[in-house]
Chains A and B, each alone.
Chain A
């Protein structure tokens, strides 16, 4: 046994609970003055702790408080069935309210689901770009000439923000044809969608300023454009960067 090992055992040695190590411990102490001194000091501390009256008296009234608390607990056990019935109705009501809230949120999220799916396809390079273009005016001319009804009327220029135009993608969204405009800065992507203001599920400020929100890890910026349109930008870049990027001047 080394000195370092004995130091781990010294308390047990002093307390007489070294078990099968007893012989090893005795042998080490017989040859080590330093550990013998260590043992003596531990004996002194142990005896001091066990000889003094270090018990702290419980404050007056603590026993009464404990007993009162236990009586209350005991009584609540006997009253449990009634409470459970009451709690069950509250629980069911809460469950119903939660389910309703989930449905509402699901519907609100649901309207962004096709855009989230399109964004993720674009970020994997799997979104079919119907009209590749590097100039906004070029893509806008294509949109105006294309026979499908819908938005956008114009294409945002994000080149000053470091995002180059990749092109436009025509997508079948529920109840409408979407014209998605795709941008990239080489690392992050932004997909722009135009939606009908009347069908947009979130409240937009009367001032016309943008709102930022997240759905399923995708960050959105929505801005009212005129009476009937809402410009929605979607990205998975961090929200603070996204806000800094598009939060200043209104898109467009």
Chain B
């Protein structure tokens, strides 16, 4: 435990530092890059420390840190052309119809996803546009509620709902493509 004198500092250490691994993981899924994820985590903890007086004790500290993380990410990285799949912050999202036209929507067989490897899922996730990657990272991987996700993403719950629907749909199509490329078994094909 760091040698901090003030009560606030030790409270911050005991509240926020235990979440560091999960925060790093979310940062990695947002950035798709270990170095930038580490920088983002440092930035997140510095901001959180400075604004710790705004944290309400008893509420979800990890969700609070993820909100700061996403804000820092949006500020620092979304304009960065090096960021994978950068999208406009006002991008309303890919319509479902467009997703359907290019993927497994026309495929009557349902993919057996259990054979997909973890690293293939991480790679498919990294290929998603940022807004979809973020919502999956926060809701499915960090298991935030829709309300917490909406706060972290800075959008209405309805947007979280529709964006997550699209994001999972798009991810499933990418995983299906991986599966086909690797010759994984599909349901109904033996």
A63: chain B residues within 8 A (beta carbon) = 17, 20
Contact with B along A211-248 (1 / 0, CB 8 A): 00000000000000000000000000000000000000
Contact of B118 among A7, A17, A54 (CB under 8 A): A54
Contact B96 A73 (CB under 8 A): no
CA distance A73 to B158 in the complex (A): 39
Q: Which of A9, A49, A67, A71 contacts B17 (CB 8 A)?
A: A67
By a CB distance below 8 angstroms, the chain A residues around B66 are none
Tell me whether B14 is interfacial, beta carbon within 8 Å.
Answer: no
Q: Is B63 an interface residue (CB 8 A)?
A: no
Instruction: Give the residues in chain A near B111, CB-CB below 8 Å.
Output: 41, 44
Q: Which of B156-190 contact A (CB under 8 A)?
A: 158, 161-162, 164-165, 167-169, 171-172, 175
Least distance between B46 CB and chain A CB atoms (Å):
6
Check B21–A45 contact: CB distance below 8 A: no
Q: A49 contacts which of B5, B140, B158 (Cβ < 8 Å)? A: B140
Q: Of B3, B113, B169, which is within 8 A of A48 by CB?
A: B113
| Closest Cβ–Cβ distance, residue A22 to chain B (whole Å) | 14
Tell yes or no: B50 within 8 A of A by CB.
Answer: yes
Which A166-200 residues have a C-beta within 8 angstroms of B?
none
Chain B residues lying within 8 Å of A15, measured Cβ to Cβ, are 139, 146
A56 at the interface (CB under 8 A from B): yes
**Chain B residues with CB under 8 A of A57:** 21, 24-25
Output the nearest chain A residue to B99 by Cβ-Cβ distance: A7
Q: How far is the CA of A70 from the CA of B29 in the complex (A)?
A: 24
Binding site for B on A (CB under 8 A): 4, 7-12, 14-15, 17, 37-38, 40-42, 44-46, 48-50, 52-59, 62-63, 65-67, 69-71, 73-74, 77-78
Decide if A12 touches B146 in the complex (CB within 8 Å): yes
Note all chain A residues with C-beta closer than 8 A to B118.
52-54
Q: Which chain B residues numbered 132 to 151 have a C-beta less than 8 Å away from chain A?
A: 136, 139-141, 143, 146
State which of B34-42, B68-76, B78-86 sits at the interface with chain A: B34-42
Q: Closest 5 interchain pairs by CB? A: A58-B24, A11-B164, A11-B165, A56-B28, A49-B140
B46 touches A11 (CB 8 A): no
Residues of B within 8 A of A70 (CB): 2, 4, 9, 12-13, 45-46, 49
* A44 in contact with B141 (CB, 8 Å): no
Q: Are A46 and B140 in contact (CB under 8 A)?
A: yes
Contact indicator B46/A69 (Cβ below 8 Å): yes
Set of chain B residues within 8 Å of A17, measured between Cβ atoms: 146
B9 touches A49 (CB 8 A): no
The distance in angstroms between the C-alpha atoms of A14 and B165, with both chains bound, is 9
Q: How far is the CA of A58 from the CA of B2 in the complex (A)?
A: 19
Contact B136 A10 (CB under 8 A): no
